[in-house]
Amino acid sequence: MHEELTRLRAQLKAQDKEIRRLKKENDFLEEASAFFAASRLKSTKTNV
C-alpha cells in the first residue's frame, strides 16, 4: 500500500510538472499567434 501511494504521488508530481510546462507553452503560442495576426492585419492595411 505504501509503495502504491509513493508511486501515485510521484506520478502526480510528474503530471503537475507537465501541466505547468504545457500551460507555459500554450501561453507562448497564444502570444505568438496574436503577434503574427496583428502583423498580418497591419500588413494587409498598408498594402490596400
| pLDDT tens figures, 5-31 | 999 999 999 999 999 999 999 999 999
Q: Which domain holds residue 44?
A: 1-48
pLDDT at 42: 78
pLDDT band at 41 (very low <50, low <70, confident <90, very high): confident
Say which amino acid occupies 4.
E
The three grid cell numbers given for residue 8, joined into one nine-digit string: 501515485
Q: Is the pLDDT of residue 45 over 80?
A: no
Residue 40 has which C-alpha cell?
Answer: 498580418
Q: What per-residue string of b and e applies to 31-46 under the rule 16 or more CB within 10 Å gives b?
A: eeeeeeeeeeeeeeee
Q: How many structural domains comprise the chain? A: 1
Greater confidence, 29 or 47?
29
Name the pLDDT band for 48 (thresholds 50, 70, 90): low
